[in-house]
Amino acid sequence: MTETGDLHHVELWVADLEASAASLGWLLERLGYVRDGAWPTGGTWRRGGTYVVLESGPDVVAGGHERRRAGLNHLAFHAGAPADVDALTSQALTHGWSLMFADRHPWAGGPDHYAAYLEDAQGFEVELVASAPPAADSATDPGTDPATRTDLEETP
């Protein structure tokens, strides 16, 4: 059942459909999306009432995606418990994703926000958000202690 305001779909235009399907399509499937449509220049992945389209073809303007330009910066997904985020992040690194903000990982979003920020070769960023941050001991993990962090003014 859908509710007013639920996200219906996201359509991402990509320069290289095969590469994007290998990275973003793989990630969507790990997050519970099912590939339910394919055509020569695109495909869809569905989870419940929401679907994601990856589309390529002659109408895509050359130049690639740049997350810092006006427009889409990133997609954020609920990714389970912190251990689930860690496992998925580790697997993603072998499927075309690189870890962003590695010096602040997994606290790049702040001391109460356990997440991984990943970027694929096409320039698309995703954020894998934990359902709840783990109980952290700031004495053993200074990245969780706001008093020792210098990056809290500017988060991703």
Maximum CA pair distance of the chain?
55
Give CA–CA dist 76/68, Å, rounded.
Answer: 16
According to CATH, where is 3.10.180.10 located in the chain? 1-56, 73-148
DSSP 22: I
Q: Which residues of 19-57 are buried (b: 16+ CB within 10 A; e: fewer)?
A: bbbebbbbbbebbebeeeeeeeebbbbbeeeebbbbbbe
Task: Kindly report which listed range (23-27, 32-36, 71-75, 81-85) carries the lowest average pLDDT score.
Answer: 71-75
At 147, the pLDDT band (50, 70, 90 cuts) reads very low
* Domain 73-148 fold: 2,3-Dihydroxybiphenyl 1,2-Dioxygenase; domain 1 (3.10.180)
Share above pLDDT 90 across residues of the chain, in percent, rounded to a whole number: 70
Please determine, for residue 30, whether its predicted confidence score (pLDDT) is greater than 80: yes
At 142, the pLDDT band (50, 70, 90 cuts) reads very low
Per residue in 82-100, pLDDT tens?
A: 999 999 999 999 999 999 9
Residues 1-56: name the CATH superfamily: 2,3-Dihydroxybiphenyl 1,2-Dioxygenase, domain 1 (3.10.180.10)
